[in-house]
C-alpha cells in the first residue's frame, strides 16, 4: 500500500492543507488551552455528576465559550445520577492492625451503620473469583489483587476497569459482603483510584472499594501469615435523587452548502470528586476548546460547522453522551466525524481512526500533516472516546488522536489529578493535532463515509477474563 | 593536609581494617535489614507516641532484638506525650469552593466545634509574617507559602521545619486564628506533610495545618483574584494524657578492658501516623539492627560494647533521647561515639563527623574504608542525628553517615511513607557503612576524644528567617 506524496496530498486540497498547517503551527506557538484548564480546575474544581461543582462547571463552561467567541452557545439539560461517597473507613484488623488507604467506587452501596468485619479471600483475577463457590465466599470480603499494566496505550485499563465493574457482580452472586480491589491504576504513590463500578447497567448490591497499591501490598504480606486476614469497613456511600446537569455546546458555524454538516469535538465537563479533574478531563475540555478558538480567531469560517460538545457525566454512566444522541437522532447523518480528547494531556503519538475503508486515504493524508509533530499512523479500529460511543455505534466515523498514556493512570480518578500534572507544551501539541484534524475534516470535499451499525451487547458474565 | 596511604592506615590497625572490610562486604552481599523493616511496617505499621501502634512497636522491637541474638535486650520506660489528630476538614470557601488536602501538625489545637472561617493572609516567609501587625492579622488565618528546596543534603528542611515550628508562634502573637503552611516537604503528589509544630517548647495555642503543594498552588491562584480568599477549618485535634512508651535497647557486648565503653547506634522506633514509617524511621531501625546483627553473626566480640538504641518518640519532642540521657548521665563519658540512621534509605554518600580535631585522622582512615562504597569525606560539624543531640551537647563525638536525601522529603511525614519507597540494595549499602564504622569505633585503641559542652539555646524569636 504505497502512495506517492502527490497521491497522499490529493484527498486534501492544497489550500486546506496550507491553512491546516498554519493553524497547527500557531497552536504550537501557544494556544488558549492552558488558561482554559487553569481556570476550570482552580475556579470550579471537582465536579462529579449531581454535585454543586457540576452546577458550577456548567455555568463556567457557558461563560467561557461565550467569552471566547463561540456561536450558538447553549446548555442542554441532561438528567444525571447523584452518588455521594460519604465517609469511608477501612482497616485491617487481623492478623495486624493497619489503616488502609481506600476509596469507595462510584455506585457503591454503604455498609450497615455498624460496619462490616469479615475474613478476606484474596484472588488474582475475575476468572479465579468465578471459580469460587458460595461456600468459599459467603459472608466474606473478596479482594481482587490484580496489578494493572503500565503502557503508553493505556491497554492495562481494559482488565483493570473490568475488575472494577464486574467483581461486585460475581462476588455478590456468591454471597460475599463486599469487594476490595487493588486500584485500577498505576500510581506508585498512596492513592486509591475511584471510578464507576457500574458496568453494563449491573448496579452493585454490596460495597465496592479500591485500595492503594501500597495497601494492597500490605494485604498480600498479611495473606502470607498463618492467621486469617480480617478487614473492617464502614461506609456511608449512597445514591441520592437524580439532578439535572447539562451538555454545554458551542459552535464555529460553517459557511456555504455544507454548513449543516457537523464535525464534533468532544470532551467531558464532569470529573471525579477526589481530584480537581485536571487530566480527566480538564485537559480535554481545554484542548478541544482551544482548537476551535484558533479557528474562530483565524477569521475564516470553515465549510462545515465545528461543534464543541462538553459532555455531562461521562464518568458515571455516559448520561450526556446518551442525551446528546437522543437530542440529535434526526440529525445523525449530518455528523460527519467525531473526535474526543479524554486521555489526559500527554502528547499525541498516533492518529487512529474508524472510517469507511475507502476514506482511509484521507486519514493517511491527514497523518502526513501531523507527521511533523510526531504523530504516526494507527489502525482503523479506534473507539474514538467514550462519549462518542452512541454516535459511533449509529454509524458516525471517528478519529482517535491517541495521547501518550504512560503516566495517565498514575493520576486518573485520584486526589492527585491536579493542574501540576499538565505540561503546557504537551497540551499545545494536542491542540495542534486537534485543530489540524478539525480544519481538514471541516473543509475537504468528501466526508469519512459511514460505519456499519453496531448493536453488540456486553455483560460481566460474557466478558470476564 | 596530605597524608600518605601508610599514614592513613595508621589510626586503624590492619586486623581491624581487614575485619571491617569483611563486614562491609558481607553487608553488601545481603543483610537482615530488608526483613527487619518489612516486618516492622507490615506487622506494626503507624506508631506515633502514645498510640496502640507505639505499644505494639515496643513489643515488636524487644522480640526482634531477642530473636536476632542481641544481649541485654531491654525496654526502658519513657513518658511520652499523646497527641491525637482527630478529624480535619479544610475548605476554601471564597472566592472559589475547593476542598483542600491538609494535615494537622503535631501539637495543633482543635477548632471550636463550629469551626473557624476567616480571610487568609498569604505571606512568603516568617520574616514577612513578623512584619505584619495585629491590625493586619487579627481574626485572620495566616498562610505561609514557602516552597521547600529539594537537595541531596536535605538542607531545605531547615527553613521548612522552622516555618512549621514557629509560624503559629508569630501568628498567635498577632491575633491570628490559625496557620496554614505549604507543607515542609517536596512531594509533587497530593500529600500534606505532618510533623511537630512544637519548637523549643513553644506549644501552640492555635491550629496549625499543612497543605499539599497542589493545594497551596490553588490558594496562590485564588490570591490573584479581586475577592478575598476565605478558608473554613474544622479540626478535633487534641492533646491526651501522657503514655509510657520505651526506648528498646540491645547490645553486642564488648570483651576485655574496653567492654564498658559504648559505641551507640541509634534510630527511632516511633513514626508519624499518616504513613507506616518505612523511610522514617523503619529504615534506620533496620540499618542499625542489621549492622549489629552482622557483628553478632561474625562470632567475634568487639572490644567495646556496641549498643543499639531504638528511641521512643523522636517525632514529637525527643522524649526517648532525653530519657536515655537522664538514665545514663553517670555513664556519659563511657559513650565514646554515637551514630544515628534517621534520614531514610538512600545510599550514604558522605562521612561527616563531629569529633575532637586531633582524631580527624581516624575519620579519614575510616573514610578510606568506605571509599569503595561511594562515600566521600565530609566536614566536622555533623549534628549526628536528632536523638543524639543531648549526648552530643554533653560532649559525645558523633559520626554522620549522610544518606542521599534527594527524595526523602517527598515521603517524609506523609501517608506515602510506605515500604515500596525503599530499595534493598541501597539499604544494604547503608548497613555496610554502619557496620564498617561501628566495627572500627569499637575496636581501635583510641577513641574520638570529647566535644566541648554545648549550652546554646534557641527560640523562634531568635531564629526566624
DSSP B358-409: GGHHHHHHHHHHHGGGT-EE--S-----GGGHHHHHTT--EEEEEE--TTHH
Give A205 to chain B, closest Cα distance, Å: 29
pLDDT (tens digit per residue) in A290-302: 999 999 999 999 9
B44 to chain A, any CB pair closer than 8 A? The answer is yes
Give all strands (DSSP E) within A262-334, no chain letters.
262-268, 305-311
Give A112 to chain B, closest Cα distance, Å: 22
Cell triple for A37: 484548564
pLDDT confidence bin for A3, thresholds 50/70/90: low
Beta bridge partners of B117: B232
Give all strands (DSSP E) within A291-413, no chain letters.
305-311, 335-340, 348-354, 376-377, 398-403
Closest CA to A107 of A190, A179, A52: A179
Write down the pLDDT at residue A237: 98
Cell triple for A450: 459511514
B-chain residues within 8 Å CB-CB of A189? 189, 191, 416
Given phi > 0 = left and psi -120 to 50 = alpha, else beta, which region is B313? left
Report d(CA A444, CA A442) in Å as an integer.
6
Cell triple for B7: 599514614
A99 to chain B, any CB pair closer than 8 A? The answer is yes
Report d(CA A64, CA A292) in Å as an integer.
13
pLDDT (tens digit per residue) in B189-230: 999 999 999 987 778 999 999 999 999 999 999 999 999 999
- pLDDT surpassing 80 at residue B282: yes
Which residues are CB-contacts of A128 (< 8 A; sequence separation ≥ 6)?
none
User: Which value, to the nearest 10 degrees, does the dihedral of the CA atoms of residues B295, B297, B302, B306 take?
Assistant: 50
pLDDT confidence bin for A5, thresholds 50/70/90: low
- pLDDT surpassing 60 at residue B4: no
Average pLDDT, chain A: 95
B138 CB neighbour count, 10 Å cutoff: 12
Q: Mean of the pLDDT values across residues A31-55? A: 98
| Percent of chain B whose pLDDT exceeds 90 | 94
DSSP helix/strand/coil, A165? helix
Chain-chain contact of A43 with B96 (C-beta, under 8 angstroms):
yes
ipTM over 0.85: yes
Beta bridge partners of A247: A76
- pLDDT surpassing 60 at residue B458: yes
Give B190 to chain A, closest Cα distance, Å: 5
Give A307 to chain B, closest Cα distance, Å: 29
Sign of dihedral through CA atoms B84, B89, B90, B93?
Answer: negative
Which whole-number Å values give the CA distances from A245 to A47, A54, A406, in the listed order?
A: 11, 7, 32
Cell triple for A128: 479465579
pLDDT (tens digit per residue) in B309-328: 999 999 999 999 999 999 99
In a mutational test of the B interface, the residue from A54, A273, A418 whose CB has the highest number of chain B CBs within 10 Å is A418
pLDDT (tens digit per residue) in A418-442: 999 999 999 999 999 999 999 999 9
pLDDT confidence bin for A461, thresholds 50/70/90: confident
- pLDDT surpassing 80 at residue A314: yes
Sign of dihedral through CA atoms B131, B134, B135, B136?
Answer: positive
Give A356 to chain B, closest Cα distance, Å: 44
A-chain residues within 8 Å CB-CB of B42? 96, 98, 218, 221-222
Write down the pLDDT at residue B457: 79
pLDDT (tens digit per residue) in A210-225: 999 999 999 999 999 9
Which residues are CB-contacts of B371 (< 8 A; sequence separation ≥ 6)?
none
pLDDT (tens digit per residue) in B59-84: 999 999 999 999 999 999 999 999 99
Chain-chain contact of B42 with A222 (C-beta, under 8 angstroms):
yes
pLDDT confidence bin for B1, thresholds 50/70/90: very low
- pLDDT surpassing 80 at residue A458: no
Report d(CA B184, CA A70) in Å as an integer.
44
Chain-chain contact of B221 with A45 (C-beta, under 8 angstroms):
no
Q: Provide the 8-state DSSP code for B196.
A: B
Angle between helices B283-298 and B52-67 (to 10 degrees): 20
Closest CA to A20 of A362, A350, A286: A362
B-chain residues within 8 Å CB-CB of A46? 98-99
Measured in degrees and rounded to the nearest 5, phi and psi for residue B398 equal -135, 150
- pLDDT surpassing 50 at residue A385: yes
Sign of dihedral through CA atoms B74, B79, B80, B82?
Answer: positive
Q: Mean of the pLDDT values across residues B175-201? A: 95
pTM of the model: 0.95
Write down the pLDDT at residue B3: 52
pLDDT (tens digit per residue) in A178-232: 999 999 999 999 999 999 999 877 789 999 999 999 999 999 999 999 999 999 9
Write down the pLDDT at residue A457: 79
Report d(CA B69, CA B292) in Å as an integer.
10
| Percent of chain A whose pLDDT exceeds 90 | 94
Which residues are CB-contacts of A408 (< 8 A; sequence separation ≥ 6)?
A154, A279, A343, A344, A346
A374 CB neighbour count, 10 Å cutoff: 13
Find residues 181-220 of chain A whose CB sits inside 8 Å of chain B.
188-191, 213-214, 217-218
pLDDT (tens digit per residue) in A316-357: 999 999 999 999 999 999 999 999 999 999 999 999 999 999
Q: Mean of the pLDDT values across residues B428-441? A: 98
In a mutational test of the B interface, the residue from A45, A101, A103, A214 whose CB has the highest number of chain B CBs within 10 Å is A214
pLDDT (tens digit per residue) in B376-393: 999 999 999 999 999 999
Give B273 to chain A, closest Cα distance, Å: 10
Write down the pLDDT at residue A1: 45
Q: Mean of the pLDDT values across residues A21-27? A: 98
Find residues 51-80 of chain A whose CB sits inside 8 Å of chain B.
52-53, 56
pLDDT confidence bin for A29, thresholds 50/70/90: very high
B-chain residues within 8 Å CB-CB of A89? none
A221 to chain B, any CB pair closer than 8 A? The answer is yes
B139 CB neighbour count, 10 Å cutoff: 11
Of A2-6, A129-133, A422-426, B30-34, least confident by mean pLDDT is: A2-6
pLDDT (tens digit per residue) in B345-384: 999 999 999 999 999 999 999 999 999 999 999 999 999 9
Write down the pLDDT at residue B232: 98
Given a contact cutoff of 8 angstroms between Cβ atoms, the answer to whether A70 and A285 are in contact is no
Please, where are the H alpha helices in A299-416?
A: 319-327, 360-370, 389-393, 408-411
Amino acid at each position: 500500500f504505497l502512495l506517492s506524496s502527490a497521491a497522499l496530498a490529493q484527498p486534501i486540497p492544497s489550500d486546506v492543507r496550507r491553512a491546516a498547517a498554519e493553524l497547527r503551527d500557531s497552536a504550537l506557538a501557544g494556544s488558549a488551552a492552558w488558561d482554559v484548564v487553569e481556570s476550570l480546575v482552580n475556579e470550579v474544581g471537582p465536579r462529579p455528576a449531581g454535585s454543586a461543582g457540576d452546577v458550577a462547571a456548567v455555568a463556567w463552561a457557558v461563560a467561557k465559550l461565550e467569552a471566547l467567541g463561540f456561536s450558538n452557545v447553549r446548555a442542554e439539560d441532561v438528567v444525571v445520577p447523584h452518588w455521594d461517597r460519604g465517609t469511608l473507613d477501612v482497616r485491617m484488623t487481623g492478623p495486624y492492625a493497619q489503616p488502609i488507604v481506600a476509596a469507595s467506587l462510584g455506585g457503591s452501596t454503604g455498609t450497615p451503620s455498624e460496619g462490616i468485619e469479615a475474613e478476606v479471600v484474596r484472588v488474582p483475577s475475575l476468572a479465579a473469583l468465578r471459580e469460587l463457590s458460595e461456600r468459599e465466599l459467603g459472608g466474606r470480603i473478596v479482594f481482587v489483587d490484580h496489578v494493572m499494566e503500565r503502557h503508553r496505550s493505556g491497554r492495562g485499563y481494559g482488565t483493570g476497569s473490568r475488575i472494577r465493574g464486574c467483581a461486585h457482580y460475581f462476588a455478590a452472586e456468591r454471597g460475599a459482603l463486599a469487594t476490595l480491589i487493588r486500584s485500577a491504576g498505576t500510581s506508585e504513590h498512596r492513592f486509591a483510584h475511584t471510578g464507576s463500578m457500574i458496568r453494563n447497567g449491573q448496579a452493585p448490591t454490596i460495597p465496592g472499594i479500591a485500595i492503594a497499591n501500597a495497601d494492597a501490598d500490605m494485604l498480600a504480606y498479611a495473606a502470607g501469615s498463618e492467621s486469617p486476614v480480617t478487614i473492617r469497613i464502614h461506609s456511608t456511600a449512597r445514591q441520592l435523587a437524580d439532578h439535572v446537569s447539562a451538555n454545554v455546546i458551542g459552535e464555529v458555524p460553517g459557511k456555504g452548502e455544507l454548513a449543516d454538516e457537523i464535525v464534533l469535538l468532544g470532551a467531558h465537563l464532569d470529573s471525579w470528586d477526589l481530584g480537581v479533574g485536571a487530566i480527566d478531563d480538564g485537559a480535554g475540555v481545554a484542548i478541544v476548546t482551544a482548537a476551535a478558538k484558533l479557528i474562530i480567531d483565524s477569521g475564516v469560517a470553515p465549510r462545515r460547522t465545528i461543534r464543541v460538545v462538553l459532555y455531562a457525566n461521562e464518568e458515571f454512566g455516559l448520561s450526556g453522551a446518551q442525551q446528546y444522541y437522543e437530542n440529535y437522532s434526526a440529525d445523525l447523518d449530518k455528523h460527519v466525524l467525531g473526535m474526543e480528547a479524554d486521555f489526559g494531556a500527554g502528547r499525541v503519538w498516533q492518529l487512529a481512526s474508524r472510517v469507511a475503508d475507502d476514506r482511509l486515504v484521507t486519514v493517511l493524508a491527514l497523518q502526513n500533516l501531523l507527521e511533523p509533530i510526531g504523530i504516526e499512523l494507527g489502525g482503523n479500529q479506534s473507539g474514538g472516546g467514550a462519549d462518542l460511543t452512541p454516535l459511533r455505534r449509529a454509524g458516525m466515523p471517528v478519529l482517535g488522536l491517541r495521547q501518550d498514556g504512560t503516566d495517565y493512570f498514575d493520576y486518573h480518578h485520584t486526589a492527585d489529578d491536579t493542574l501540576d500534572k499538565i505540561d503546557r507544551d504537551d497540551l499545545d501539541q494536542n491542540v495542534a493535532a486537534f485543530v489540524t484534524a478539525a480544519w481538514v475534516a471541516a473543509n475537504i470535499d468528501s466526508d469519512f463515509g459511514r460505519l456499519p451499525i453496531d448493536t453488540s451487547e456486553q455483560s460481566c458474565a460474557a466478558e470476564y477474563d
